Amino acid sequence: MKCCVDSEYHSPLFLDCCGLLRRVLRDLRHDFGFRVGPWNQSYLFDTLPITVEREEDMKPGDLVFISAIYHNTKSMIFTTRL
């Protein structure tokens, strides 16, 4: 059976949203003035701690994380609210 795949399937680099952000930060580390580590989105959330309270204060290109508090007593408690 032959499967139809996009041309991107054979790309040398696959990135999810966290991987894409990490790649951009690494590529532009000299411009940003810091080097980001290899950890997950919770690390990125804690590393980039600027909070914008109102949508009208956002600017094009702003990185947006959504945080929440989970109220499921059967779930594991996480140290971050991401």
The 10s digit of each residue's pLDDT in 41-58 is 778 777 776 788 888 998
pLDDT at position 56, please?
Answer: 92
User: Which residue has tokens 């003035």?
Assistant: 33
What residue ranges of the chain have pLDDT lower than 70? 1-5, 49, 70, 76-82
Q: What is the pLDDT of residue 66?
A: 73
22: exposed, middle or buried (Cβ count in 10 Å: 0-12, 13-18, 19+): buried
Helix (H) or strand (E) holding 26: helix 17-27
